[in-house]
Amino acid sequence: MSTDSGGNRALLESTLAAAKDEGRAALVGYLPAGFPTVDGGISACTALLEGGCDVVEVGLPHSDPVLDGPVIQTADDVALRGGVRIADVLRTVREAHAATGKPVLVMTYWNPVDRYGAERFAAGLAAAGGAGCILPDLPVEESEGWRKAAEEHGLATVFVVAPSSRDERLAKITEAGSGFVYAASVMGVTGTRESVGGRAQDLVARTRSVGELPVCVGLGVSTAEQAAEVAGFADGVIVGSAFVKLLLSAGEDLEGGLAGVRALAGELAEGVRRTG
């Protein structure tokens, strides 16, 4: 579906729409690029998609991951010490998409993109077959330059909303964003949690009431039960730290880690398909 000049925003939109037509939530997985190595990370993203995720978010590791808990901090640190570069992130996007045909997003803090150049990054991401970008620390007020570049290159811009977001901001963010809205289930950083929290359902309802975009819920989901619960009220379920944890605990045994990732993706995919 990719064209020479355009990114795969339309593929992201049609994937989410197809899940909706099936009467289920989409499953979105997250893994950082370069973890445990660049090639290992590509295999992991591919395993996650083959295992049952509909979409993958490839994290661009950052020296100062202020919104991440210890699990993703550790993975970012491993990736950066391994020397991961933006070119490696883009290669991860390209290969994961090429192997599966599924939509691949990048999730990144803003400074690396700002430094690399928003236009240059958007062009590179689109050329790699990327579908869009999630920018959790770029507030909508500062996003105009990026959105213009993303629009030009056929990329979605996914904004994050939080339980603390007031309705007028939800409207502004939903208006500016594309692809889907990332609803943070709780106030906090990434990491698995026992309970996803009642504020998520309220946030999804409030976000839907002000716009048309699908709303996917992230932060804290790690089990099929939680995925099923969130799938009951959201358009998509986002899982990150639980996958990273599997790879971290597998250590040197990459094949074992990949098998774990594939199995968890399968369980979560079953979770988002449960009815009632």
Partner 1 sequence: MSDYFIPDPEGRTPTAEGYFGAFGGRFVPEALVAAVDEVATEYEKAKQDPSFAAELDELLVDYTGRPSPLTEVRRFAAHAGGARVFLKREDLNHTGSHKINNVLGQALLARRMGKTRIIAETGAGQHGVATATACALFGLSCTIYMGAVDTERQALNVARMRMLGAEVVGVETGSRTLKDAINEAFRDWVANVDHTHYLFGTVAGPHPFPQLVRDFHRVIGVEARRQVLQRIGRLPDAVAACVGGGSNAMGIFHAFLADEQVRLLGFEAAGHGVESGEHAATLTEGGPGILHGSRSYVLQDDEGQITEPYSISAGLDYPGIGPEHAHLRQTGRAEYRPVTDDEAMQALRLLSETEGIIPAIETAHALAGALELGRELGPEGVVLVSLSGRGDKDMETAARYFGLYDGADDADPEGDE
113 near partner 1, judged by CB under 8 A: yes
In the block, tokens 């150049």 appear at 117
Catalytic residue among 13, 54, 68, 88: 68
| Closer residue to partner 1 (CB): 19 or 217 | 217
175 near partner 1, judged by CB under 8 A: no
Given 6, 14, 116, 123, the residue binding partner 1 (CB under 8 A): 116
80 near partner 1, judged by CB under 8 A: yes
What are the tokens at 108? 């990144």
CB of 266 to partner 1, least distance (A): 31
**Closest to 181 measured CA to CA, from 128, 228, 238:** 238
What are the tokens at 49? 């998609």
241 near partner 1, judged by CB under 8 A: no
Sheet of strand 156-158, all strands in order from the earlier edge strand to the far edge:
156-158, 132-134, 104-107, 55-59, 26-32, 236-239, 215-218, 181-184, 160-161
Is 68 annotated in the active site?
yes
Q: Residue 272: which residues within 8 A CB-CB, separation 6 or more?
A: 19, 24, 25, 26, 27, 227, 228, 231, 237
Binding residues for partner 1 restricted to 35-74, rule: CB under 8 A = 62-67, 69, 73
> How many residues belong to the site for partner 1 (CB under 8 A)?
39
Q: Angle, nearest 10°, between helix axes 118-127 and 86-100?
A: 30
Binding site for partner 1 (CB under 8 A): 62-67, 69, 73, 77, 80, 85-86, 110-116, 136-139, 141-142, 159-166, 169, 173, 184, 187-189
What are the catalytic residues?
57, 68
